[in-house]
Amino acid sequence: MKTYQVCIVGFAHVHINDVAGHFAEHPQIKLVGCADTAPVTPELKRGAPYTREWNIQYCSEKFSIPVYDDWKRMLETLKPDLCVVNSENCYHVEITEFCARLGIGVSIEKPMATSLSDGIRMYRAAQTYGTLLMINWPVTWNPGMQMIKKMIDRGDIGKVLEIKTRMGHTGPLGRGAKHKIAQTAEPMTETEKAATWWHQHVCGGGAMADYCCYGSVLSYWYAGESATAASGMRVNSMTLMGDAEDNSAMFVRFPHCYAVLEGTWTTVNHTFKSPIVYGEHGAIVGDYKTGNVLLYHENNEIEEIVNDPLPPELKDVASAYVHHMETGKPLHFTALPEFNLEALAILDAGLRSADSGKVELVNNLHWQIG
């Protein structure tokens, strides 16, 4: 039984504590090293739960991972089979291109990138050097999100008319925030939040990139066709010291339906269900946090859906990676770069629209120049 050597680069993203656990627990994975990227600005509340300094200490101690000062030297020295990237969004392309040149596979934490041009660079690098590029979406391993797609495909609600997503919380470092481990985020001042990458536009921060990216993936997945145009709006409602938005919304046009995608960092309680898919004969209401799914019939009957169990390779990102390497079978399509470029194109158009104030076309490999 082969053991795969895995390194982690980047501890800015709060998902790393959960993701590292999946890789550490897999019997065919050995975490051989970890290193952080350099922050654009120093964090002010260092060592608070879910800050980058806290994340790397938590992971290195809990999972016994050696810590390196320089991520590039670490990769050149160790040459692992896979690099798990949980850096700021703005570094995804640099790390992917560096790994590709070394022949190292990459697992990128969602989103793939925050611009289509960056995503295409990542795709081209992996294609050029023949390396693995996969994107980790928590919704991929969620039985409820998978079940919704099955229900759509078998015609439970007929033709899809609208897809709506609203996802969020109090912010990655907001009051009471917890990210699948026991610790709770400590209160931060607005100045302290602004010093973190999450609230910095140049780093790819903001609620649109963080949560409308989920909507982009789910709407493309559920619509089953490429989007054509999008409009977006961003607002900084409560975190005025940072220059990235804490609330956002996108309207997306598909050839045969439309989508409304919202992302929030100012919602105290989980007061909404998401995603919702409206069809000509009813609606499917999911809860991405619990995986629960309801089917609303035409006669006002509400049916609780029993989710189909997922196969072992869809347990988590580590299981998917090992299964792919062992069998040669393709990853789930939501983890593939080709799928992600289509979803990223939606997010890219929404971000451009928020800046231009106009509806923007959704581009693709053929129409993205530069």
Q: Hey, where are the domains in the chain?
A: 4-137+313-332, 140-310+344-361
- How many CB atoms within 10 Å of residue 357? 10
Residue in 261, 251, 255, 250 with CA at minimum distance from that of residue 225: 255
- How many CB atoms within 10 Å of residue 193? 23
Convert the pLDDT of each residue in 297-328 to its tens digit: 998 899 999 999 999 999 999 999 999 999 99
* pLDDT of 178: 82
Convert the pLDDT of each residue in 9-21 to its tens digit: 999 999 999 999 9
Side chain identity at residue 347, one-letter code? L
Fold match between 4-137+313-332 and 140-310+344-361?
Answer: no
The answer to pTM > 0.85 is: yes
* pLDDT of 56: 98
pLDDT band per the 50, 70, 90 thresholds, residue 142:
very high
Contact predicate 95/83, CB 8 Å: yes
Side chain identity at residue 273, one-letter code? K
For domain 4-137+313-332, give its CATH number from 3.40.50.620, 1.10.10.10, 3.40.640.10, 3.40.50.720.
3.40.50.720
pLDDT surpasses 90 at 177? no
* 207, containing H or E segment: helix 207-207
Convert the pLDDT of each residue in 97-134 to its tens digit: 999 999 999 999 999 999 999 999 999 999 999 999 99
Angstrom CA distances, 202 to 114, 187, 197, 198, 346, stand at: 10, 24, 8, 10, 20
Residue 369 or residue 253, greater confidence? 253
CATH superfamily of 140-310+344-361: Dihydrodipicolinate Reductase; domain 2 (3.30.360.10)
